C-alpha cells in the first residue's frame, strides 16, 4: 500500500519496522518488566527506544531516500534475518543500545 501511494502521488515514504521496543538505559521491557539476569533475557527482535528515535530523526532528515522499508532491530543476531545492515548503511543509524549486556 505504501509503495502504491508513493508511485501514484510521488510522496516520499520511509517505513520503519521496529519489533520489540525496550529501554536499555532504564533496563525495562515494553511491559515495564526488568531486563537482564533477574528479568527478561535478550531476544533477537529487541531494539532500544533511543535507537528507534534516532532512526525516526534520520529518516525525516534524509534527502536521498524517496521510498524504502527498514527493519529497526538492535541485536547482532538480527543481521541474519532482517535488513538491519541497510538501516546502518542507508540511514546512517548507529545502533547504540547496549542489548548484549542482557545475554
85 belongs to a structural domain: yes
- Average pLDDT on 20-42 reads 86
* Cβ contact 102:35 at 8 Å: yes
Helix (H) or strand (E) holding 84: helix 84-90
- Find the domain containing 23 and state its range: 2-98
* Cβ contact 58:87 at 8 Å: no
103 belongs to a structural domain: no
- Here the cell at position 34 is 526488568
**What sign for the dihedral angle of Cα 72, 75, 78, 79?**
positive
45 belongs to a structural domain: yes
Residue 101 is predicted with a pLDDT of 85
Is residue 38 pLDDT above 90, yes or no?
Answer: no
48 belongs to a structural domain: yes
- Average pLDDT on 13-35 reads 93
Domains identified in the chain, total number: 1
Express each pLDDT in 65-95 by its tens digit: 999 999 999 998 898 988 899 999 999 999 9
Ranges 6-10, 40-44, 74-78: which has the least confidence: 40-44
CA triplet 84, 94, 50: central angle to 5 degrees?
Answer: 95
Q: What is the largest CA-CA distance in the chain?
A: 51
More confident position, 5 or 70: 70
* Cβ contact 50:26 at 8 Å: no
33 belongs to a structural domain: yes
Is residue 57 pLDDT above 90, yes or no?
Answer: yes
CA distance 90 to 93: 8
Amino acid at each position: 500500500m505504501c509503495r502504491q501511494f508513493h508511485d501514484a502521488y510521488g510522496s516520499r515514504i520511509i517505513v520503519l519496522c521496529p519489533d520489540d521496543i525496550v529501554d536499555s538505559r532504564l533496563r525495562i521491557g515494553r511491559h515495564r518488566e526488568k531486563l537482564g539476569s533477574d528479568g527478561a533475557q535478550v531476544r533477537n527482535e529487541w531494539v532500544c527506544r533511543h535507537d528507534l528515535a534516532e532512526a525516526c530523526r534520520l529518516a525525516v532528515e534524509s534527502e536521498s531516500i524517496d521510498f524504502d522499508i527498514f527493519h529497526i532491530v538492535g541485536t547482532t543476531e538480527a543481521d541474519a534475518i532482517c535488513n538491519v545492515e541497510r538501516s546502518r548503511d542507508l540511514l546512517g543509524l548507529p545502533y547504540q543500545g547496549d542489548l548484549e549486556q542482557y545475554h
